[in-house]
């Protein structure tokens, strides 16, 4: 048995030992996913503006590296629509799509993004991905899906010009009818097959049928746009050359966004994987593994990879139990590279566009904004703003995510600076609730009972101090101030100083200060500061003890908690 330290460095050593039954099941799942990898890889390479064969390169070694070092062994790693769009959009204006410079810049994006992910994983910074909330990611994904859709429409419809130019002056002479028939027909079949047979690799069958029909009618010989000749054989080591500082600056923001978005894609699939398997997700290990996968992709002359939600789902549905399924999938990709690339020659490019559109059509969900609005209007606005800015700033898609993250952090900070502070009253059911909301009497004629549902730190301290000062100013008859402190689970130096000022304020008013339910870490911090114990502060372990004391005669000052 491998030791835990060895497994930490080589996670694949913890895979289940291969048996005949296990390998047969993994072979079936692996072949199902592998049959999708090649056509989708070629289609996503076109979306990224890369040579088409690099999509197959990105489906081979990166997938192998990711599964060997990942904690989530059932993910379908390789090119994805969203990451490919980000790459293509980020490099627009910096080089000519498909050129040597474009390939070098895409490889650098993969290497830099992978290196950043590895550093984050080693430093255990996986938590930082939580700054992108669901509304921000949803808004960005919706906008990106629309951009992918519109970018593929010219090829899907066989247009000889851009969609905008054709809409200004529609003419059938500008439309390749055969390409449109191939594209729309393939799209209809893909969507129908996805609904009826979600586990069946229909993309392979449809693409193969399209290639056979295209070759039979001589579509390429008549000037039709097809995939063409792809180089066979294994990828070679590729070094993209030196990257000057000016170009490094141009790539910095796109690399950050690719890192963020691609790992969020991974996270969405990994959570499902571990929920089904009943295991704990190690996001830092996945950061390391997928960072290594990106670097290996760049060094193969390909582009950044991620975990595909659709391929990961199919892998799970097909019964994959471990990383052995991915090994079989990559073996199939290897066979395709060695012997099957000539079969892709006659595939119409409109069919590749159909593959991309079929993969992202489920991402477009118009009803999502309405659902967010019902849950939280502020977060719905953040999601809509992210969506609108992503569309408006294309091809610089990162601005939508950045503004969305900034808006979300601002909203978070506002909530921390304005914590919920309520005056509590005794509800008929025996619980303490907001007495103004529930129209409850005060706990006593000279009692002010407050509860702050937040930590007592630099963000919330000023709010509770101001609220208490204002209440004492408006109600000078108050003789007992009680702070129900159960929700306060942390206190910092600013909080300690504020607590000291609150105690002094209550004493100067001639009132008594009562504290109920103080948690041990907070109590220890106040003891280290010399504030507790104090004869002027009356502490209680439970709400019931505090209520019994506060409802006694004013001459009774309360009992201190032991």
User: What is the C-alpha to C-alpha distance for residues 389 and 410, in angstroms, rounded to an integer?
Assistant: 17
> Which tops the pLDDT comparison, 507 or 10?
507
Q: What gap in Å lies between CA 14 and CA 18, rounded to an integer? A: 12
Prediction pTM value = 0.83
Residue 37 has pLDDT above 60, yes or no: yes
* Calpha distance 523→483 (Å, rounded): 14
pLDDT in the model for residue 276: 78
pLDDT for residue 195 = 87
**The predicted structure's pLDDT at residue 398:** 85
Mean pLDDT, range 102-111, rounded to an integer:
97
Q: What is the mean pLDDT of residues 128-151?
A: 88
The pLDDT score that the predictor gives to residue 164 is 75
The whole-number average pLDDT for the span 7-27 is 85
pLDDT surpassing 50 at residue 557: no
Across 127-136, 158-167, 194-203, 503-512, least confident range = 158-167
Q: Binning pLDDT at 50, 70 and 90, where does residue 1 land?
A: low
Mean pLDDT of the residues in the chain: 90
Please compute the mean of the pLDDT values over residues 470-496 and round it to a whole number: 94
What is the band of 91 on the pLDDT scale with cuts at 50, 70, 90? Answer: very high
Residue 338: pLDDT over 50: yes
- Token pair of 420, please? 């919920």
Please give the Cα distance from 481 to 243 (Å, whole number). 65
> Cα separation of 204 and 105, whole Å?
31
Does 558 have pLDDT greater than 60?
Answer: no
Average pLDDT over residues 459-479: 94
Instruction: Output the six-digit token pair for 178.
Output: 């055969």
What value does the mean pLDDT take over residues 64-77?
92
The arithmetic mean of pLDDT across residues 499-509, rounded, is 93
| pLDDT surpasses 80 at 483 | yes
Residues 78 and 59 sit within 8 Å (Cβ to Cβ): yes
- 517-542 pLDDT, tens digit per residue, is 999 999 999 999 999 999 989 999 99
Q: What percentage of residues in the chain have a pLDDT greater than 70?
A: 98
If one compares 545 and 554, the residue with the highest pLDDT of the two is: 545
Calculate the CA dihedral of residues 194, 196, 200, 204 and round it to 10 degrees.
Answer: -50
The b/e string for 384-393 (b: 16+ C-beta within 10 A; e otherwise) is bbbbebbbeb
- Kind and range of the H or E element at 421? strand 421-426
Dist. CA 354–CA 495, nearest whole Å: 59
Sorting pLDDT into bands at 50, 70 and 90, what band is 352?
Answer: very high
Phi and psi torsions of 51, nearest 5°: -55, 140
Which pLDDT value is given to residue 10?
83
pLDDT, residue 554, reads: 52
Mean pLDDT of the region 448-462: 95
Taking alpha carbons only, the member of 534, 555, 556 closest to residue 545 is 556
DSSP secondary structure, 428-486, as one string: TTS-EEETTTTTPPPSSTTEEEEEE-S-BSTTTHHHHHHHHHHHHHH-TT--EEEEE-T
Half-sphere exposure of 103 (CA within 13 A, CB side): 21
């Amino acid at each position: 048995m491998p030791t835990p330290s060895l497994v930490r460095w080589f996670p694949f050593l913890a895979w289940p030992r291969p048996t005949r039954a296990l390998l047969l099941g993994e072979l079936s799942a692996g072949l199902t996913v592998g049959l999708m990898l090649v056509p989708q890889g070629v289609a996503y390479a076109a979306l990224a503006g890369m040579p088409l064969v690099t999509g197959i390169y990105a489906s081979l070694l990166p997938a192998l590296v990711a599964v060997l070092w990942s904690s989530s062994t059932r993910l379908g790693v390789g090119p994805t629509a969203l990451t490919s769009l980000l790459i293509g959009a980020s490099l627009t204006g910096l080089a000519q799509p498909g050129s040597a410079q474009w390939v070098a810049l895409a490889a650098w994006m993969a290497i830099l993004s992978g290196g950043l992910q590895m550093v984050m994983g080693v430093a255990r910074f996986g938590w930082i991905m939580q700054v992108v909330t669901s509304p921000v990611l949803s808004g960005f994904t919706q906008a990106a899906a629309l951009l992918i859709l519109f970018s593929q429409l010219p090829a899907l419809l066989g247009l000889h010009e851009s969609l905008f130019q054709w809409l200004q002056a529609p003419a059938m002479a500008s439309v390749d009818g055969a390409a449109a028939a191939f594209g729309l027909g393939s799209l209809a079949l893909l969507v129908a097959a996805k609904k009826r047979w979600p586990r069946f690799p229909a993309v392979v069958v449809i693409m193969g049928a399209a290639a056979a029909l295209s070759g039979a009618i001589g579509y390429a010989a008549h000037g039709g746009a097809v995939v063409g000749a792809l180089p066979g054989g294994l990828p070679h080591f590729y070094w993209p050359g030196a990257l000057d500082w000016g170009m490094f600056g141009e790539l910095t923001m796109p690399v950050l966004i690719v890192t963020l978005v691609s790992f969020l894609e991974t996270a969405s699939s990994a959570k499902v994987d571990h929920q089904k398997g009943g295991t704990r997700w190690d996001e830092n290990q996945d950061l390391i593994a997928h960072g290594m996968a990106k670097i290996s992709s760049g060094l193969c002359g390909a582009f950044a990879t991620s975990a595909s939600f659709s391929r990961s789902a199919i892998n799970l549905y097909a019964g994959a139990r471990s990383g052995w399924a991915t090994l079989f999938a990559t073996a199939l990709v290897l066979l395709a590279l060695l012997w099957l690339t000539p079969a892709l020659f006659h595939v119409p490019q409109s069919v590749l566009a159909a593959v991309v559109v079929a993969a992202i059509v489920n991402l477009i969900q118009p009803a999502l904004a309405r659902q967010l609005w019902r849950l939280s209007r502020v977060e719905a606005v953040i999601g809509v703003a992210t969506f609108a800015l992503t569309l408006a700033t294309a091809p610089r898609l990162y601005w939508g995510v950045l503004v969305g993250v900034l808006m979300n952090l601002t909203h978070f900070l506002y909530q921390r600076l304005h914590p919920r502070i309520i005056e509590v009253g005794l509800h008929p059911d025996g619980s303490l609730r907001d007495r103004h909301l529930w129209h409850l009497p005060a706990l006593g004629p000279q009692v002010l009972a407050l509860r702050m549902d937040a930590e007592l730190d630099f963000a919330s301290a000023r709010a509770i101090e101001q609220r208490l000062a204002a209440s004492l100013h408006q109600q000078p008859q108050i003789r007992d101030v009680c702070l129900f402190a159960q929700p306060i689970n942390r206190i910092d130096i600013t909080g300690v100083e504020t607590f000291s000022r609150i105690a002094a304020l209550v004493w100067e008013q001639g009132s008594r200060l009562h504290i109920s339910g103080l948690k041990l870490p907070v109590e220890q911090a106040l003891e280290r500061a010399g504030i507790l114990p104090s004869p002027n502060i009356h502490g209680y372990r439970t709400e019931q003890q505090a209520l019994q004391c506060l409802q006694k005669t004013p001459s009774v000052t309360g009992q201190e908690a032991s």
